[in-house]
Amino acid sequence: MVEKAVSIAYAHINAPLRHQEYGSLQALNTAMQEQLVILNNKPYKNTAYSWRYFYEQQKRSLLKAFLPNSLL
């Protein structure tokens, strides 16, 4: 399961950026963060819901017991 998640993250975050050049680590991090937002908002296959939707609806409230508000 973890290997599949890494494969998905690579395919959707790193692969679209592979032909780009970045002048700084900050520029690369910004581009990767933008791709992550796109991935998190992409609907799961055969559903209308994204990972972001499930996080906001279910996981966020469960994590409040464990993490400070600044991390949510």
Q: What is the pLDDT of residue 35?
A: 96
Ordered per-residue pLDDT tens for the chain, 72 residues: 788 888 988 999 999 999 999 999 999 999 999 999 999 899 988 888 898 888 788 777 777 777 766 555
Q: What is the pLDDT of residue 28?
A: 96
The reply to whether 53 and 36 lie within a common domain is: no
Distance of CA 69 to the CA centre of its chain: 19
The reply to whether 29 and 2 lie within a common domain is: yes
Q: What is the pLDDT of residue 69?
A: 64
Dist CA 11 CA 16 (whole Å): 8
Q: What is the pLDDT of residue 25?
A: 97
At 62, list the tokens. 């469960």
The reply to whether 1 and 27 lie within a common domain is: yes
Tell me the torsion sign for CA atoms 67, 10, 22, 41: negative
- Domain region containing 59: 44-72
Count how many domains the chain has: 2
